[in-house]
A and B are shown apart, each in its own frame.
Chain A
Amino acid sequence: MTRTVGPDPAQTQTNETPAEVPDAQQQALHSGTSDLRELLTRNLRQSGIYIAFFVVVVLFAILTGGTSLSPGNITNIVLQYSYVLVLAIGMVIVIIAGHIDLSVGSVVALTGSVSAVLVIRHGAPWWAGMLAAIGVGLLVGVWQGYWVAYVGIPAFIVTLAGMLIFRGLTLQVLDNISLSPFTPEYQKVSSGFLNGLIGGNGYDAFTLLIGALAVAGYAVSGFRTRVARIKYKQPVESFPLFIARVVVVAAVVMYFAWQLAHARGLPIVLIILGVLITLYGMITKRSVFGRQVYAIGGNLAAATLSGVKVKVVNFWIFVNMGFLASVAGIIYSSRSNGAQPAAGQNFELDAIAAAFIGGAAVTGGVGTVGGAMVGGLLVAVLSNGMQLQGVDQSIQSVIKGLILLLAVAFDVYNKRRAGSSR
């Protein structure tokens, strides 16, 4: 709860774009440096996580003598943590709205096992198993959404119950035994690569092409946004800075693509992940639904009195979480090549940690899909690096816990420094 007090305009001025911007042209004349500083300070919390990510990547690159950035290892990280990232997308939306979902680990297990039972035990085709998994995920979402939105039980309780219920159902479905192996087509979801589609000389040209397309898409959409903003006389970053931003992103993406191309090509998982991140990034930022999620998390009462259909929005948030949990369930079952009664344990904690490390606020109303992805990757790179270094599992757990604590402490510190009047 913030109280408006006296003139604390200091707060408004530190992390805002400049007060009066007569027109975009003038803004564009700003020197690149002041622009850059503004970019960094505008959201220290967000840039903090990117800086932390960068530091961790460089640290482990040095410690492992470059092994951590090797093509094989990068591919590994993507494959190994993809399902946590998929869960984190749904989780950050749940958290922005002021809820929590403790059941996703069990839902991953349940959807994976339903699929496994169909495909492995009954010989159904791979796609039937996947569709069934998604159907189960949606049903779970409807169930939990109903209790949270329409009955009004706190999500913490509903999903704690869900965690037990769906774990129990998993055991029922599997008759308490593991199922394995899946058909090769099914395994492809997690371990398949798009490689050699258009040839290449020791590296996969297709991967590079996709990388290039992604960069081009980024540049074009960035440019179109820029043009639109100028048309509406909105402040934009200076043109050199815009170019610099595109170049940096292009360099990172192409380096990444290059490394993948050198290894086994483009993992199918990465394509799924890329599509989901882009889609949900847009939904949270630009859609009416996404904006209502933020409104509900920011001030539930005000959102209700502004005509937001809170129940409907909350319901769909959980349906969506169920859907994404089923996608994660498919990827995980494919990766582990079967279904185990204990699959997915503690996944919910990883997903929640990713969202909070990535800047989501415990009180709701704040958070981004991009932040949650970086938060998830930070944990992924950290775990992977520590594994490469042979750090003991127990120590890894301690360090991950500390990182989560530090990230949220940093957030609290920032808010206090920004002077929220208490």
Chain B
Amino acid sequence: MDDYILEMRSITKTFPGVKALSDVSLAVRRGEVHAICGENGAGKSTLMKVLSGVYPAGTYDGEIVYDGEVQKFGGIRDSEHKGIVIIHQELALVPYLSIAENIFLGNERKGRGGLIDWNRANADAAALLREVGLQENPVVPVNTLGVGKQQLVEIAKAISKDVKLLILDEPTAALNDNDSAHLLDLLRRLRDRGITSIIISHKLNEIVAIAQHTTIIRDGKTVETLDMSAPDVDTDRIIRGMVGRDLESYYPERESHPGEEVLRVEGWTVKHPTQDRLVVDHADFNVRAGEVIGIAGLMGAGRTELAMSIFGRSYGRFEEGRVFVHGREVKARSVAEAIDHGIAYATEDRKKYGLNLIEDIRRNVSAAALSKLATRGWVNGNEETKVAEDSRRDMNIKAPSVSSIVGKLSGGNQQKVVLSKWLFTDPDVLILDEPTRGIDVGAKYEIYTIINKLVAAGKAVIVISSELPELLGICDRIYTLSAGRITGEQPVREATQESLMKLMTKERELAA
């Protein structure tokens, strides 16, 4: 008989008019790492909100049995009291407070007279940091740490609350490979200490590496729970469950016919906005019409900084370098000028930098080229709607109408809105920064298809990505970037993950 720490039975959650979860069951054994997979919008996060009490008992049907008792959580405090802690994708740390202050926030180490005993707090925090393998002084503010380390602080905070069931929502989405590996290692150690984890992730390799069981959710229903120790279970098997069909391949086929050179960058050098150091150091690269080039680099290599500084000097302080579009030198000192010269840049963080989340699809699509819809400063609203409708159809944006609020769409559909916005500027060069971050397998495939359509139409596309298989799957050529320098250029047929990784870490080895 298995010992289940958590059983969610026949959970059904309805929002007015829509069934978000329908008869979903989830059984998690004590002391395992249990993965939950599903496309964006499948209902994973809703299920976790039901579990943690964000949607309190009574607002859903079904029952939650935790630690052998039926639980009726009225809010997050109730579930945390029982040892269930959720760590969200977007971290909930206070940036200017120290590590120790964050760990014990709301749970302060008090001494005499109700004042905080800082010595005890810092000592306890240091012990927790050792446990999660983070070598930092507990008094430093968390905003000085990278995302990976902040995640570890979150986990230390969870441990301080005597966590029994740890839920991680997309924990490695923003992490580089090293940090991800470290985090997975930590989960294994926690498991050995008897802490159960539920991990929601799109990175299937990681799930295969760490989970004992995987529950797949599709369209608000449980599809199956896979025993990961079974011989035939691999990433393809999970994908089949998620999409309900076999993906022929991750990456759609494309014939490559590169044409004229569209963009050439020479000696591009950019300084950090406040510090006296080069973030991009004499970068040279080019891209031709009908070609996809990739830029590979570890976190901090300067990929986004390179792209944004070319895009109207949106990052850092320009030092030197020249940009040629169609062989003619252009000086794009502002975003508007860059757009005029046919350069478009779709950001890696669409919620923060890419979209106006409180506006509808229509107004987001037109945002970068409003003047194309205007005569003498007045916008033609009907024409705008038509443009948005066309985008919705061409891009297959799943939304009730173009007046749907963008903040309420799933990640994949939001990304399609971002792409629509930039395509409406009619660019020659499209720089896509992490175009598939945080979106599900099905939508990724759609994005790749869109990229293929663009190059077929003669556009030049630059893709920045942390996922090497993605670059290998869609690019013609790949540049590697390390510490702001281009360290290599490989045609895709010669490149392998290993060869790229070697180039991406070149600088560091030299320095070491």
A residues near B (Cβ < 8 Å) are 1-14, 16-21, 228-229, 231-232, 234, 282, 286-289, 291-292, 294-295, 298-299, 301-309, 361, 365-366, 419-420
The docked-state distance in angstroms from the alpha carbon of A298 to that of B312 is: 22
Asked if B359 and A6 make an inter-chain contact with CB atoms under 8 angstroms apart, the answer reads no
Asked if B404 and A16 make an inter-chain contact with CB atoms under 8 angstroms apart, the answer reads yes
Known contacts: A7-B43, A8-B46, A12-B400. The answer to whether A299 contacts B357 by CB under 8 A is yes
The docked-state distance in angstroms from the alpha carbon of A137 to that of B414 is: 43
The docked-state distance in angstroms from the alpha carbon of A266 to that of B473 is: 72
Q: A10-B20, A16-B400 are in contact. List 17 more A-B contacts (CB 8 A).
A: A3-B89, A4-B408, A8-B408, A9-B18, A13-B17, A287-B377, A288-B377, A288-B378, A294-B359, A295-B359, A295-B367, A299-B355, A302-B352, A305-B311, A305-B347, A307-B338, A365-B358
Decide yes or no whether B410 CB sits under 8 A from chain A. Answer: yes
The docked-state distance in angstroms from the alpha carbon of A10 to that of B314 is: 37
In the complex, which residue of chain A has the Cβ closest to the Cβ of B311? Answer: A305
Known contacts: A4-B407, A4-B410, A19-B400. The answer to whether A9 contacts B363 by CB under 8 A is no
Shortest Cβ distance from B316 into chain A, in angstroms?
15
In the complex, which residue of chain B has the Cβ closest to the Cβ of A364? Answer: B358
Stretch at the interface among B60-68, B380-388, B498-506: B380-388
Known contacts: A16-B404, A304-B335. The answer to whether A366 contacts B20 by CB under 8 A is no
Decide yes or no whether B336 CB sits under 8 A from chain A. Answer: yes
Shortest Cβ distance from A347 into chain B, in angstroms?
29
Decide yes or no whether B123 CB sits under 8 A from chain A. Answer: no
7 CB < 8 A contacts A-B: A2-B407, A4-B414, A7-B42, A7-B220, A10-B18, A12-B405, A365-B359
In the complex, which residue of chain B has the Cβ closest to the Cβ of A235? Answer: B401
Decide yes or no whether B403 CB sits under 8 A from chain A. Answer: yes
Asked if B15 and A5 make an inter-chain contact with CB atoms under 8 angstroms apart, the answer reads no
Shortest Cβ distance from A357 into chain B, in angstroms?
20
Contacts of B355 in A (CB 8 A): 299, 302
Shortest Cβ distance from B340 into chain A, in angstroms?
8
Asked if A291 and B370 make an inter-chain contact with CB atoms under 8 angstroms apart, the answer reads yes
Decide yes or no whether B342 CB sits under 8 A from chain A. Answer: no
Asked if A234 and B385 make an inter-chain contact with CB atoms under 8 angstroms apart, the answer reads yes
Known contacts: A232-B385, A288-B370, A303-B367. The answer to whether A6 contacts B377 by CB under 8 A is no
Asked if A289 and B407 make an inter-chain contact with CB atoms under 8 angstroms apart, the answer reads no
Give per-residue flags for B381-417: 1 if the beta carbon is below 8 A from chain A beta carbons, else 0: 1110110000000000001110111011111001000
Contacts of B220 in A (CB 8 A): 7
Shortest Cβ distance from B16 into chain A, in angstroms?
5
Shortest Cβ distance from A301 into chain B, in angstroms?
5
Other-chain contact of A14, B16, B44, B358, B368 (Cβ < 8 Å) = B16
Decide yes or no whether B479 CB sits under 8 A from chain A. Answer: no
Contacts of B91 in A (CB 8 A): none
Contacts of B357 in A (CB 8 A): 2, 298-299
In the complex, which residue of chain A has the Cβ closest to the Cβ of B418? Answer: A302
A-B contact count (CB 8 A): 165
Asked if B385 and A7 make an inter-chain contact with CB atoms under 8 angstroms apart, the answer reads no
Known contacts: A232-B382, A286-B381. The answer to whether A17 contacts B401 by CB under 8 A is yes
Asked if B379 and A298 make an inter-chain contact with CB atoms under 8 angstroms apart, the answer reads no
Known contacts: A288-B370, A298-B358. The answer to whether A7 contacts B41 by CB under 8 A is yes
Asked if A6 and B90 make an inter-chain contact with CB atoms under 8 angstroms apart, the answer reads no
Shortest Cβ distance from B318 into chain A, in angstroms?
17
Asked if B45 and A5 make an inter-chain contact with CB atoms under 8 angstroms apart, the answer reads yes
Q: Which residues of chain B from 62 to 107 have a CB within 8 Å of any chain A CB? A: 88-90
Shortest Cβ distance from B39 into chain A, in angstroms?
10
Asked if A306 and B45 make an inter-chain contact with CB atoms under 8 angstroms apart, the answer reads no
> Nearest 7 A-B pairs (CB), nearest first?
A10-B15, A6-B46, A298-B356, A19-B400, A5-B45, A232-B382, A306-B368
Asked if A9 and B335 make an inter-chain contact with CB atoms under 8 angstroms apart, the answer reads no
Shortest Cβ distance from A414 into chain B, in angstroms?
13
Other-chain contact of B368, A234, A307, A309 (Cβ < 8 Å) = A307
Asked if B367 and A229 make an inter-chain contact with CB atoms under 8 angstroms apart, the answer reads no
Known contacts: A17-B403, A299-B355. The answer to whether A9 contacts B377 by CB under 8 A is no
Asked if A301 and B353 make an inter-chain contact with CB atoms under 8 angstroms apart, the answer reads yes
Shortest Cβ distance from B165 into chain A, in angstroms?
19
In the complex, which residue of chain A has the Cβ closest to the Cβ of B340? Answer: A307
Give chain B's interface residue range (CB within 8 Å of chain A).
35 or more
The docked-state distance in angstroms from the alpha carbon of A418 to that of B173 is: 28
Shortest Cβ distance from B156 into chain A, in angstroms?
23
Contacts of A234 in B (CB 8 A): 382, 385
Shortest Cβ distance from A310 into chain B, in angstroms?
10
Decide yes or no whether B268 CB sits under 8 A from chain A. Answer: no
Give per-residue flags for B31-42: 1 if the beta carbon is below 8 A from chain A beta carbons, else 0: 000000000111
Contacts of A295 in B (CB 8 A): 356, 359, 363, 367
Give per-residue flags for B307-341: 1 if the beta carbon is below 8 A from chain A beta carbons, else 0: 00001101000000000000000000011101100
Asked if B421 and A288 make an inter-chain contact with CB atoms under 8 angstroms apart, the answer reads no
In the complex, which residue of chain B has the Cβ closest to the Cβ of A19? Answer: B400
The docked-state distance in angstroms from the alpha carbon of A30 to that of B62 is: 38
Asked if A306 and B42 make an inter-chain contact with CB atoms under 8 angstroms apart, the answer reads no
In the complex, which residue of chain A has the Cβ closest to the Cβ of B371? Answer: A288
The docked-state distance in angstroms from the alpha carbon of A19 to that of B397 is: 13
Shortest Cβ distance from B420 into chain A, in angstroms?
12
The docked-state distance in angstroms from the alpha carbon of A361 to that of B366 is: 23
In the complex, which of the residues B47, B356, B386 has the most CB atoms of chain A within 10 Å of its own CB atom?
B356
Asked if A309 and B336 make an inter-chain contact with CB atoms under 8 angstroms apart, the answer reads yes
Decide yes or no whether B29 CB sits under 8 A from chain A. Answer: no
Decide yes or no whether B267 CB sits under 8 A from chain A. Answer: no
Known contacts: A305-B345, A307-B335. The answer to whether A291 contacts B358 by CB under 8 A is no
Asked if A306 and B367 make an inter-chain contact with CB atoms under 8 angstroms apart, the answer reads yes
Decide yes or no whether B374 CB sits under 8 A from chain A. Answer: yes
Asked if B368 and A294 make an inter-chain contact with CB atoms under 8 angstroms apart, the answer reads no
Contacts of B312 in A (CB 8 A): 307
Decide yes or no whether B49 CB sits under 8 A from chain A. Answer: yes
Contacts of B370 in A (CB 8 A): 288, 291-292
Asked if B404 and A305 make an inter-chain contact with CB atoms under 8 angstroms apart, the answer reads no
Asked if A307 and B353 make an inter-chain contact with CB atoms under 8 angstroms apart, the answer reads no
Other-chain contact of B20, A6, A229, A361, A365 (Cβ < 8 Å) = A6
Contacts of A20 in B (CB 8 A): 400
Asked if B408 and A305 make an inter-chain contact with CB atoms under 8 angstroms apart, the answer reads no
Asked if A299 and B356 make an inter-chain contact with CB atoms under 8 angstroms apart, the answer reads yes
Asked if A365 and B356 make an inter-chain contact with CB atoms under 8 angstroms apart, the answer reads yes
Asked if B367 and A7 make an inter-chain contact with CB atoms under 8 angstroms apart, the answer reads no
In the complex, which residue of chain B has the Cβ closest to the Cβ of A228? Answer: B382
In the complex, which residue of chain A has the Cβ closest to the Cβ of B412? Answer: A4
In the complex, which residue of chain B has the Cβ closest to the Cβ of A229? Answer: B382
Decide yes or no whether B148 CB sits under 8 A from chain A. Answer: no
The docked-state distance in angstroms from the alpha carbon of A221 to that of B20 is: 42
Contacts of A292 in B (CB 8 A): 370
Decide yes or no whether B258 CB sits under 8 A from chain A. Answer: no
Contacts of A13 in B (CB 8 A): 16-18, 400
Decide yes or no whether B354 CB sits under 8 A from chain A. Answer: yes
Asked if B379 and A291 make an inter-chain contact with CB atoms under 8 angstroms apart, the answer reads yes
Contacts of B16 in A (CB 8 A): 10, 13-14
Asked if A4 and B411 make an inter-chain contact with CB atoms under 8 angstroms apart, the answer reads yes
Shortest Cβ distance from B370 into chain A, in angstroms?
5
Q: Which residues of chain B from 206 to 236 have a CB within 8 Å of any chain A CB? A: 220
Contacts of A304 in B (CB 8 A): 314, 335
Asked if B408 and A11 make an inter-chain contact with CB atoms under 8 angstroms apart, the answer reads yes
The docked-state distance in angstroms from the alpha carbon of A11 to that of B401 is: 13
Asked if B90 and A12 make an inter-chain contact with CB atoms under 8 angstroms apart, the answer reads no
In the complex, which residue of chain A has the Cβ closest to the Cβ of B308? Answer: A305
